[in-house]
Structure 1
């Protein structure tokens, strides 16, 4: 009598990968990347650097007051904003460490989008008449102020503040560089443990309300706990236009993601970012949008099961490959906007994503390895902090 073997229902048909191994690798990647800020010295360095950058921004004039800033974890090309390498015009002028932030600085706050001139569902023009009093370098501008017009005074002003404002004394923080990057500015610091911290500072226009034709965003707004009804105009758009973006709402949405989906997003960005940041590529933001499209059609019960993270990861890769082949990825919030419009390397990108899909374990292992190397400094700080606590406990004594 022969006994039938137990069916292997946890094996991916296309790659032969075991779902259990994929889940473990994604969990390890999440643990490695999340541990980057665990060391006490590193946390203090980040706080000190952020306060310093805030003090630099306070020196820029004229800016709306009070000037609250939106801070996003991850640099410009981390996928938190709708930005591609084409928008920035060149590769990053400074190194891109794993610990990085993007700071959105409102140079203008508007009570309603009706004050703007909408040229498409995803683009606006900003009238120069909205600046009151007008900035000296904008007074001679055409009727509409382009992102480049703004960068002409914003970037030099920020760099001038950097050169005139003393950095906090070593060994806490060291300024490594400050360079313009497209219409924004990048600042690089290091701490006493030779860990690098990067801040990308982006001038934006903040607008109360929603653009015409917006969808789904109202479902996420809560007067008490949710984000306010406002959107931002990013300094990237054809022919002097500004691009519509919802970073405040999306930040809230990311925080509400089930841990399994957050793990899928992190893993997808880690394995796909290298070629999504190449020339004529859309940037990693398209991964986030693809996940949102999947959340619209998949049952919540499936998405909230931790063991389904591997299936979601593989499905996300397949969906991305399909989008690139089709050359279209609709914006989930703005009907009529397409993230892949004008991208000419769709078939190439689809092929690269398919390569990852064919060997997901190999690419996840490589991402885990890179995370280990990148976080050695943070792990060392955490270990030293633990040893110090144990030593303090061991040296305590009671009177005899």
Structure 2
């Protein structure tokens, strides 16, 4: 009996090839295979993960303790700085979209050539808790003005902050908004919030209560109109913060085995410092320190999030950060910041979408280095809008990471072309793309034409950095653009 054969091959040979699958997993714009993009994104996540890097935990903890100790010395130098504050530490610097400061000059720093990993620290220098303080809000631009009362806790507030006062708020009494406290006593236990393996933020708290340093002040006399109150100027606060920090830094004596402060500079409304870890391997960590006003309560006009459900009760507070007023560059208005809410939202975002965002951010990083583009925070906001618009089951499927990454880049291109993006927390408010949007749009178009090639190059760069001991740059040696011969901190004001 003749044996069965497949063509000329015996039956025990390899099976015939399976019928070709419909080509539904191809990106229409570039022709890239989505499965390949997803695999590259997963590989990039392995190579760039700070948590999985060698001996990174002690480096970060020592650097964090160094910064907190530095701020303690700042209080000794200037008692206006709160002795005990609740600090919010975010993984990723401002140039990586950690906080929205608008299209402001951010300095020439680039992750890789200049530092290995970046962090943002929100440092409350003033606290609003109760009806004694007046917060005036411009409902069109959502800029805020902090009108200081005459007395607080028996102390003359205006006299203490005389060098940081700005002009009276425009608009007068009609734009007054009183924040309503919706939050109980704050939880003062130290915590680290890391909901996913690829999460890019940490939520670290110091023991202390920012509300203890602030007591309710009496209402202003009837004869004193609110529009005549002097305001706390964010630009002057940022300048004061940097000046006192510089005084403390210049007096530091290097301690063997401790991080070394090698650079500090003021950019717009925040201060950037670079810390060199003792190693080996030697790492350079960037910290963006932002002096903020913490506000207990919830601003009028802030929206809810249908996809996330109600946020935790401790999230009913927000910050005022120094931010440029696009319409009035010389104005002394603050900008509303919802970093605490964003941290809570990140814990609810599916891991594949977080991976897609991290990959898009890595691709965007070299395109925005040294520019004033606000694209990194626009990309971050698109992450929340994606959760609002797309089914959770789609975003949670690991095989969709490649498509999500391309989708985020496409949405970012549309926002850059329009010049604005709707604010996620404030209805009617727009986020501005900045003056460099046109050039960035062209660079994104070139990248979008061959995303697989761009991702391959990013993965290879991450592998090289990891072998060298660094996270995204040269490893244990000198970093390009960062002098290594400094005896002490290098201070600049730009």
Bucket of the pairwise TM-score, normalised by the shorter protein: 0.7 to 0.9
In structure 2, distance between residues paired with 1:4 and 1:76: 50
Matches within 5 A, 1:110-189: 110-111=128-129, 115-120=134-139, 122-129=142-149, 132=152, 133-134=156-157, 138-139=161-162, 141=165, 142=167, 143-167=230-254, 169-189=255-275
Deviation, structure 1 residue 100: 1.8
Matched, 1:45 2:64: no
Contact 1:317 1:354 in 2 (8 A): no
The equivalent residue for 2:315 is: 228
Contact 2:51 2:57 in 1 (8 A): no
The equivalent residue for 2:39 is: 24
Contact 2:349 2:387 in 1 (8 A): no
In structure 1, distance between residues paired with 2:142 and 2:130: 16
In structure 2, distance between residues paired with 1:56 and 1:101: 16
Deviation, structure 1 residue 344: 4.1
Superposition RMSD on alpha carbons, in Å?
2.8
Highest Rg: 1 or 2?
2
In structure 2, distance between residues paired with 1:66 and 1:364: 44
Deviations 1:191-218 (A, max 9, x none): 2322111211110011011111000259
Contact 2:134 2:148 in 1 (8 A): no
TM-score, length basis structure 2? 0.69
In structure 1, distance between residues paired with 2:249 and 2:357: 35
Matched, 1:374 2:476: no
In structure 2, distance between residues paired with 1:37 and 1:10: 31
Deviations 1:145-202 (A, max 9, x none): 21111123211111112222434x3244333222222222222121232211121111
In structure 2, distance between residues paired with 1:124 and 1:96: 34
The equivalent residue for 1:80 is: 98
Deviations 1:48-78 (A, max 9, x none): 1211110111232313353110001111211
Match of 1:108 among 126, 131, 151: 126
Deviation, structure 1 residue 129: 2.7
Unaligned stretches of 5+ residues in structure 1: 381-400
| Count of aligned residue pairs for this structure pair | 373
In structure 2, distance between residues paired with 1:306 and 1:37: 20
Matches within 5 A, 1:184-263: 184-191=270-277, 192=279, 193-216=281-304, 219-223=309-313, 227-238=314-325, 239-263=331-355
In structure 2, distance between residues paired with 1:220 and 1:164: 47
Deviation, structure 1 residue 289: 0.8
The equivalent residue for 2:181 is: none
Contact 2:106 2:371 in 1 (8 A): no
In structure 1, distance between residues paired with 2:362 and 2:142: 28
Unaligned stretches of 5+ residues in structure 2: 1-6, 8-17, 168-229, 326-330, 472-494
Helix, strand or coil at the partner of 1:375? helix
The equivalent residue for 1:11 is: 26
Deviation, structure 1 residue 368: 1.3
Deviation, structure 1 residue 233: 0.9
